[in-house]
């Protein structure tokens, strides 16, 4: 990859001037009359109900629906075979049922979640100055995050392979996830509320093959987390899904909120997890901009940080393949259909928010 010039900037996506006022008005309406009212109360009620169950209700529902659909398809095929004279009538009937079902599901999705894609951004809520940044700023951010990750790594525990571990396991991580949001809500009330705790998915191994770290299921109000990977990523993933639970639909914003609530968490494992996630996003952005700077900074990783990233790489490598690529394409289409025109690439905007978060506050030592 070619290195960029020293005065190059990281481009940001900004709205066009045409129709900008209408867009702001629409965002304000969605924020005031849906995200902070209808969705906020409805999601907390649903989440409180499903939160009574120790397992993921969403996972059980999805499995049940898939089994019902499979049984329905088999039943319909058998009917078509046995009643050739009524095939057209049966096909029309089944298509009508399917259309009604899709319509009901789509309407329910919009009411319980979908309009959050059009709410006011977290950048506006938190008064973040999101604007073009130089490669030097990005490098300074990476250096700061490396320093933080190296320091926090010394405060967490590791297994016999030298990889960070939470002694209480994934269940303990999920039980403690709310603490970061409690503290963050004192600064940002939009992050408050009473919701069910995040839940580990029983079929996490399948999620790994799909390349999915977590899923927010709006119909049950549950933040579902893949708990099969290295422990150091689970706290951040749980915090990310909890951001969706609170109505922040866009992936870049959920990533930033996941980071914010992780570093505000009282426990070191959460702070480390959030810092490592932010470091990964920032270093990936730097690698795309300037490979030489990326390589130099990577050498500053502590041995523990390097081992953790290697464990994550090996986990992803083990589970990559056709299924994960297909899931990625499906997710890309879903994001584009819900007002994230950059699709999967919108995940890169996490770095824009991080740069805005730390702009003008990093000590001079990191501007080298």
Q: Is the pLDDT of residue 321 over 90?
A: no
Q: Which long-range contacts (CB under 8 A, 24 or more apart) does 293-297 make?
A: 293/3, 293/135, 293/139, 297/139, 297/142, 297/143, 297/146
Nearest-angstrom CA–CA distance, 311 and 217: 28
pLDDT band at 81 (very low <50, low <70, confident <90, very high): confident
- pLDDT digits 0-9 by tens, 132-188: 888 999 999 999 999 999 999 999 999 999 999 999 999 999 999 999 999 999 999
pLDDT band at 4 (very low <50, low <70, confident <90, very high): very low
In the chain, where are the structural domains located? 9-366
Which of 5-19, 38-52, 87-101, 181-195 is predicted least confidently? 5-19
Starting at the edge strand found earlier in the chain, the sheet holding 222-225 runs: 199-200, 222-225, 214-217
Q: What is the pLDDT of residue 336?
A: 54
Q: What is the pLDDT of residue 79?
A: 83
Q: What is the pLDDT of residue 18?
A: 46
**Number of other CB atoms surrounding residue 18 within 10 Å:** 8
- pLDDT digits 0-9 by tens, 21-45: 556 666 677 888 899 999 999 999 9
- The b-or-e profile of 47-56 (16+ CB within 10 A means b, else e) is beebbeeeeb
Nearest-angstrom CA–CA distance, 292 and 297: 9
Contact criterion met (CB below 8 Å) for 235 and 174: no
pLDDT band at 324 (very low <50, low <70, confident <90, very high): very low
Nearest-angstrom CA–CA distance, 330 and 367: 40
Distances (CA, A) of 338 to 73, 218, 257, 335, 357: 29, 15, 19, 5, 26
Q: What is the pLDDT of residue 334?
A: 43
Measuring CA to CA, which residue among 67, 164, 140, 162 is closest to residue 286? Answer: 140
Over residues 231-244, the mean pLDDT reads 97
Q: Is the pLDDT of residue 205 over 60?
A: yes
Nearest-angstrom CA–CA distance, 249 and 88: 42
CA angle 192-199-70, nearest 5°? Answer: 125
Contact criterion met (CB below 8 Å) for 240 and 231: no
Q: What is the pLDDT of residue 365?
A: 66
Q: Which of 89-93, 111-115, 188-192 has the highest mean pLDDT?
A: 188-192
The DSSP call for residue 200 is E
DSSP reduced 3-state for 121: coil
- How much is the CA Rg of the chain, to the nearest whole Å? 22
Question: What average pLDDT does the structure give for the chain?
Answer: 85
Nearest-angstrom CA–CA distance, 239 and 258: 5
Element (H, E) at 223: strand 222-225
Q: What is the pLDDT of residue 320?
A: 74
- pLDDT digits 0-9 by tens, 36-69: 999 999 999 999 999 999 999 999 999 999 999 9
- pLDDT digits 0-9 by tens, 265-294: 999 999 999 999 999 999 999 998 899 999
The DSSP call for residue 118 is G
């Amino acid at each position: 990859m070619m290195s960029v010039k020293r005065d190059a900037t990281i481009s940001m996506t900004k709205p066009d001037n045409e129709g900008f006022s209408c867009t702001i008005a629409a965002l304000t309406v969605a924020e005031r009359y849906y995200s902070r009212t209808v969705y906020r109360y409805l999601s907390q009620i649903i989440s409180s109900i499903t939160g009574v169950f120790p397992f993921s209700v969403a996972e059980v529902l999805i499995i049940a629906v898939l089994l019902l659909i499979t049984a329905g398809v088999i039943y319909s095929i058998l009917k078509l075979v046995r009643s050739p004279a009524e095939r057209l009538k049966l096909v029309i009937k089944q298509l009508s049922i399917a259309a009604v079902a899709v319509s009901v599901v789509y309407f329910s999705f919009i009411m319980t979640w979908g309009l959050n894609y059009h709410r006011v951004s977290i950048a506006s809520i938190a008064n973040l100055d999101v604007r073009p940044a130089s490669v030097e700023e990005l490098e300074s951010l990476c250096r700061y995050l490396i320093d933080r990750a190296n320091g926090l790594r010394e405060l967490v525990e590791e297994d016999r392979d030298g990889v960070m571990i939470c002694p209480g396991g994934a269940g303990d991580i999920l039980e403690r996830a709310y603490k970061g949001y409690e503290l963050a809500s004192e600064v940002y009330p939009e992050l408050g509320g009473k919701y069910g705790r995040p839940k580990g998915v029983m079929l996490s191994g399948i999620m790994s093959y799909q390349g999915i770290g977590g899923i927010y299921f709006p119909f049950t109000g549950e933040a579902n987390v893949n708990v099969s990977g290295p422990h150091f990523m689970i706290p951040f993933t749980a915090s990310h899904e909890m951001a969706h639970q609170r109505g922040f639909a866009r992936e870049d914003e959920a990533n930033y909120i996941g980071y914010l609530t992780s570093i505000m968490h009282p426990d070191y494992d959460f702070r480390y997890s959030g810092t490592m996630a932010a470091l990964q996003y920032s270093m990936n952005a730097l690698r795309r901009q300037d490979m030489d700077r990326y390589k130099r900074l990577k050498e500053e990783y502590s041995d523990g940080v390097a081992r953790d990233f290697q464990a994550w790489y090996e986990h992803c490598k083990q589970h990559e393949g056709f299924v994960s690529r297909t899931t990625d394409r499906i997710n890309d289409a879903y994001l584009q259909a819900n007002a994230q025109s950059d699709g999967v690439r919108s995940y890169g905007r996490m770095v824009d928010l991080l740069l805005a978060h730390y702009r003008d506050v990093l000590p001079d030592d990191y501007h080298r």
